[in-house]
Amino acid sequence: MSKKMEYDRKEYDVTRTMPGNWYLSSYKFRYSLDHLQPWFKKLKEKKLVGTQCRSCNTVFFPPRLVCGYCLVKPDLWVDVRETAQVATFNITYEKNPQTGEVVEKPVVCVRHDGTDTAFLAQLSPEINFRETYVGMPLKVKWRDEPEGNIGDLEYYEPLEDEAKDLRKEE
Amino acid sequence: MGRQVAIASAGFCEHAVRRSDVSMPEMVKEAIDDCLSKVPSVGIEDIDMFVNGNMPAFEGASIPELWMTDWMGARNKPLMRVTTGGTTGGTVAIAGYYSVAAGLPGVDTVLAVAFEQQSQGDTSVGLSSVALGELTAIQSIGMPLQKMKRLVSAGAAIGIAAYQATNYMRKSKITEEDLARVVVQNRRNAAKNWYTHLKMPNVTIEEVLDTPYISYPLRFGMVCPASDGCCAMLFTTEEKAKDMADIPVYVNGVASVANETGIMGYNAGGGGQLDPSEQLGAQRSAELAFDQAGISFPGKEIDYAEVYAPFPNQELMWVEKLGLFETNTAPEMYANGTTAANGEFPINTSGGVNSTNAIGASAMERPAEAALQIMGKAGNQVPKTVHTSLGHGWGGIINLITMMVMADEPKRKFK
Amino acid sequence: MDKVGIVGYYYMKMSPDLIYGRYNLIFETVRGALDSVNLKKKDITTVISATNDYYDGRTISNAYCVEPAGAYLADESKAEMDGAFAAQYGLMRILSGNHKLAVVWGGSTPSCYPYDSAQLYQTDPTFERPIALVNNITAGGFQMRAYMEKYGVSAEDIAKVAVKNRKNAAKNPLANPEAQNANITVDDVLKSDILSDPVTELMYAAPCDGLAAILLAPEKQALKITDEPVWIKGVGSNQDPYYLGDRDLSECKSMEMAAKMAFDGAGITAKDVDFAEIFEQYAHEELILAEAIGLAEKGKANELNSEINGDIPINPSGGAIAGHAPFATGLMRIIEAVKQLQGKADGYQVKDPKVAIATGQIGFCAQNNILYVLEKGGN
């Protein structure tokens, strides 16, 4: 099905090849997640919090280690609402290796109301993702029994967009 | 402090999907030979310092300069290696500029070389390693594996470009046809340039739109290839350049500005980037470079631009964000022929990154092509006389922008 | 060459395992350097990093470091060489007149990656890597043997260097605790495990975790930032051919040429140097490099009195043997030289120094070398 585009091609001789590998499994990647612990604790209580930089007032959600503008650690905890907006999105095409079937999946970045940063999230499976657009209002759907990790934000459900018709007229 | 820097020459090797006939050092040698062949009075012994770089993990060699010393002619000469991912070429060119501008004793002529032989290494391992550490961290905080897999496919360069594309398309209300038009212009230009990879003299918009999506709204036919290739540039002082080249090109402004690292940013942190098509880094680097070059009206004062656009939506976005066109007017300029080789403001007549992408070298090919257009030696020379040109690069994980502004006369001294 | 000052610096206590995440370490290092002279994020105009993709286990290893290193919307670049080369790039950027404050940082955490196999990726992939006989450690063995044979230097003489550096390290509070040993003897060094005959374990600068950062500023700004800047008077770098058979391993031609370039630029000779901070991967490299720099005649470096209170102190901080944090070691040599010139090296202070040299290197058997001439500024 995939149609190839032809181009003027020149072939070169093969002179030699050497096998090699990069053993990434022997690397240990180490991260400090201390700055996320209060966030996890609140997630378990179905509450959303973010950190605010005292210097520039940017609200980070999820909390980040460093404020890039000011090079300080944001350490002021603030409430974050459950409602959010689509900041940007794209649609990926996953090929099932067994059946060869291509599945379309949206990946969205959402920005919670009251925060200044976006993060990757999953949309409700009931949404027809072709209707996704930038600025679409959403609300968090919690996992039934939160465990205190990022999986507690199971997915995002759409809210009614009261300004949608106005936006189309523009 | 500082001194005027000039470009005396630039050279390339043939780019292809698989340069299996040469090893990495041999390929580098081809580009150096092409570069020096344009300045007959200069030999490899006249070069005082070497600057180079590539993306090491894509070729399976760490610091390859160490073992390619003799192929470059760098034996017992100073050598500096710089590399910043996708913009490696741009940073190498900028490092070449600074090596001359600094005026270190004994360093006048600098050869900058950027190369990439992707067919030698496992590009997918290289690419997945970009975020492997970050993804393990995200998994450790409870992200389900199924979701992670999707993040990986959305997190590579194409995913980032797709994010930029959706936001850009919303703002400027363009269609996929507008994107395909950019691709057609690039690929047809590439057919007229000797070293490029995807030469498609007769490609049409319909053909491009007939290919499947890779990541909405980008289709297979719109995406850059993976090439092997190398680019070399010769930087020197104003005085020496006048002896070396007929038309020396003066570098008047450079900048390489990074902004937000990643949309995810769970660990590293950041300033919070909501709109990937906003491009604060590009705006800031354009501001810095134009300020250094004494350019106040880039849209009027610049005659030719090479922008780093692996994906067509980026080409539209960059020309606006760099101040060359009014916001949201770029698609129109491509439709009415302003940006064609014989147009009023030619852009990417070399074929651009969209047709040839040897990652480490691409960002250097932009200033190199822009300089050759001023010299009148470019592969696909534009008919109009070019006085001022611009070479731009994009890379890093999301955003590191390199800029080099060149002209046929030295920078006007305001101070 | 115009005057450029080293105005601030920071490096954290080295350790075999620093435990914290990479971004915390970078943030702490860069913030520490800024705090040492009370500067803010918005004062930074350019940031140069020194990291390696194979050491960090990721492509574009500088990309996630933009924010923790203070490079957000600053002119950023990465030199994939030892930190001392990154400092050279920072210096060039200042000298060009485009920038007023450069942050140069470098370092890595070998506790998170296989250091020796990461080094193998530096070898020639066609001829040498499949055999894997040439690696960083065997290269050290070749070099030491060549030096001993040519000049008749004994293994004891070379062990003495390791003893001196490890004793100096014991006085340096920031050194790697594993390298600090005030009671070490020549016998201990010679009887330690053999890495690659004749190199023994205690002659080798074992990798450890560490990061370092320095701040560079032009003369005018430097004098406003601090009362005691240290000026970079000269810099020189040079690269030898790659294949070990192409060069005489008993000497170091690239360092000779780098030193000539730096001394010519500074207008001094090796005799004017008060002390040296040399980046030595192995104990014998300190002797070879000292000879190449011109501190001693060929084959006579072992006769120098290079103790802290000697005629020409070499590595009063303990050198790379006191802690070799890959890609930060060259920066640490510069920082240690700056500390001595400012009189802040508590416990291992050289008496009243005016002119110092600091070196950095990369590659097998010190293939690529860089040398700085530093001069005391202020009062």
Distance from CA of A5 to the nearest CA of B (A): 7
Segment B383-388 shows an average pLDDT of 94
Q: pLDDT-based confidence at B261, cuts 50/70/90?
A: low
Of A94-103, B56-65, B248-257, B374-383, the range with the lowest mean pLDDT is: A94-103
Predicted local confidence at residue C241, as pLDDT:
93
> Which of A17, A65, A71, A73 would best serve as a mutation to test chain C binding (most C beta carbons within 10 A)?
A71
B79-81/B49-53 β-pairing? parallel
DSSP A84: E
Q: Which residues of C touch A65 (CB under 8 A)?
A: 23-24, 27, 68
Please state, for a pLDDT cut of 70, what percent of chain C lies above it.
100
The number of CA neighbours under 13 Å toward the Cβ of C210 is: 31
Which residue did the predictor score with more confidence, A133 or C36? C36
Note whether A73 contacts C27, CB cutoff 8 Å: yes
Segment C111-139 shows an average pLDDT of 86
Predicted local confidence at residue C22, as pLDDT:
86
pLDDT one-digit tens code per residue, A27-86: 888 888 888 899 999 999 999 999 999 998 988 888 888 888 889 998 899 999 999 998
pLDDT beyond 80 at A150: yes
Q: Which residues of A touch B165 (CB under 8 A)?
A: 90
> Which of B75, B110, B152, B273 would best serve as a mutation to test chain C binding (most C beta carbons within 10 A)?
B75
Q: pLDDT-based confidence at C66, cuts 50/70/90?
A: confident
Q: pLDDT-based confidence at A17, cuts 50/70/90?
A: confident
pLDDT beyond 50 at B176: yes
Which residue did the predictor score with more confidence, A85 or B60? A85
Neighbours of chain A (3+ CB pairs under 8 A): B, C
Task: Give the integer Cα–Cα distance in Å for C317 and C162.
Answer: 13
Q: pLDDT-based confidence at A2, cuts 50/70/90?
A: very low
pLDDT beyond 90 at B96: yes
Please state, for a pLDDT cut of 90, what percent of chain C lies above it.
82
Note whether B105 contacts C234, CB cutoff 8 Å: yes
Handedness of CA A76, A82, A86, A90 (dihedral sign): positive
A40 near B CB under 8 A:
yes
**Residue C247 — φ and ψ, nearest 5°?**
-130, 160
Predicted local confidence at residue C313, as pLDDT:
96
Chain A, 136-165: which have a CB under 8 Å from a chain B CB? 147, 149-152
Average pLDDT over chain C reads: 93
* SS3 call for B108: coil
Predicted local confidence at residue B415, as pLDDT:
41
Predicted local confidence at residue B153, as pLDDT:
59
- The tokens for C82 are 């030892």
Predicted local confidence at residue C67, as pLDDT:
84
Segment C67-91 shows an average pLDDT of 92
pLDDT one-digit tens code per residue, C148-199: 999 999 999 999 999 999 999 999 999 999 999 999 999 999 999 999 989 9
Which residue did the predictor score with more confidence, B132 or B329? B329
Q: How far apart are the first and last CA of chain A?
A: 39
Predicted local confidence at residue A16, as pLDDT:
75
Handedness of CA C122, C52, B110, B6 (dihedral sign): positive
Which residue did the predictor score with more confidence, A137 or B162? A137
Predicted local confidence at residue C166, as pLDDT:
96
- The tokens for B197 are 């990879």
pLDDT beyond 80 at B13: yes
| Domain ranges across chain B | 5-121+225-407
A76-79/A59-60 β-pairing? unpaired
Segment B149-167 shows an average pLDDT of 70
Segment B213-241 shows an average pLDDT of 91
Please state, for a pLDDT cut of 70, what percent of chain B lies above it.
89
Q: Which residues of B touch A109 (CB under 8 A)?
A: 163, 263
B110-117/B228-237 β-pairing? antiparallel
Sheet harboring A76-79: ordered strands across? A59-60, A49-52, A76-79
| B250 torsion bin: left (phi>0), alpha (psi -120 to 50), beta (else) | beta
> Which of C54, C96, C122, C136 would best serve as a mutation to test chain B binding (most B beta carbons within 10 A)?
C96
Distance from CA of A112 to the nearest CA of B (A): 11
Predicted local confidence at residue C119, as pLDDT:
87
Distance from CA of C139 to the nearest CA of B (A): 14
Smallest Cα–Cα separation from C170: which of C76, C291, C308? C308
Segment B97-103 shows an average pLDDT of 94
pLDDT one-digit tens code per residue, C324-333: 999 999 999 9
User: Residues of B232-241 as b/e, b for ≥16 C-beta within 10 angstroms?
Assistant: bbbbbbeebb
Note whether C126 contacts A68, CB cutoff 8 Å: no
Distance from CA of C137 to the nearest CA of A (A): 20
Note whether B98 contacts C92, CB cutoff 8 Å: yes
> Which of C4, C53, C237 would best serve as a mutation to test chain B binding (most B beta carbons within 10 A)?
C53
Instruction: Please give the helix or strand (H or E) that residue C9 lies within, else none.
Output: strand C4-11
Task: Give the integer Cα–Cα distance in Å for C284 and B165.
Answer: 58
Position B39, amino acid: V
Q: pLDDT-based confidence at B398, cuts 50/70/90?
A: low
CATH topology of domain B5-121+225-407: Peroxisomal Thiolase; Chain A, domain 1 (3.40.47)
Predicted local confidence at residue B267, as pLDDT:
44
Q: Which residues of B touch C257 (CB under 8 A)?
A: 76
Segment C72-100 shows an average pLDDT of 93
pLDDT one-digit tens code per residue, C287-340: 999 999 999 999 999 999 999 999 999 999 999 999 999 999 999 999 999 999
A50 near B CB under 8 A:
no
pLDDT beyond 60 at B375: yes
State the residue for tokens 């920066």.
Answer: C331
Q: What's chain C's Rg over C-alpha atoms?
A: 19
pLDDT one-digit tens code per residue, C233-291: 999 999 999 998 899 999 999 999 999 999 999 999 999 999 999 999 999 999 999 99
Of B268-277, C148-157, C347-356, the range with the lowest mean pLDDT is: B268-277
Q: Which residues of C touch B281 (CB under 8 A)?
A: 73
Segment A96-122 shows an average pLDDT of 82
State the residue for tokens 């959402």.
Answer: A110
Predicted local confidence at residue B72, as pLDDT:
92
Top mean-pLDDT range of A118-132, C114-128, C259-273: C259-273
Q: Which residues of A touch C32 (CB under 8 A)?
A: none
pLDDT beyond 70 at B412: no
Q: pLDDT-based confidence at B262, cuts 50/70/90?
A: low
Q: pLDDT-based confidence at B281, cuts 50/70/90?
A: confident
* SS3 call for B198: coil
DSSP sequence for B251-267: EEEEEEEE----SS-SS
Note whether A23 contacts C70, CB cutoff 8 Å: no
Predicted local confidence at residue A124, as pLDDT:
85
B98 near C CB under 8 A:
yes
Handedness of CA C174, C176, C181, C186 (dihedral sign): negative
pLDDT beyond 70 at A170: no
Average pLDDT over chain B reads: 87
- CA torsion C225-C226-C231-C232 (nearest 10°) is -50
Chain A, 76-95: which have a CB under 8 Å from a chain B CB? 87-94
| Domain ranges across chain C | 4-115+207-225
Distance from CA of B195 to the nearest CA of C (A): 27
Contact C226, C37 (CB under 8 A): yes
Which residue did the predictor score with more confidence, C94 or B265? C94
Give the C-alpha distances (Å, rounded to integers) separating C138 from A65, C116, C252, C305, C365.
42, 11, 17, 29, 10
Which residue did the predictor score with more confidence, C319 or A21? C319
DSSP sequence for C316-370: TT-TGGG-B-TTTHHHHHHHHHHHHHHT--TTS--SS--EEEEEEEESTTS-EEE
Segment B209-233 shows an average pLDDT of 89
CATH top-level class of C4-115+207-225: alpha beta
Q: How many CB atoms lie within 10 A of CB A34?
A: 11
**pTM, full prediction:** 0.94
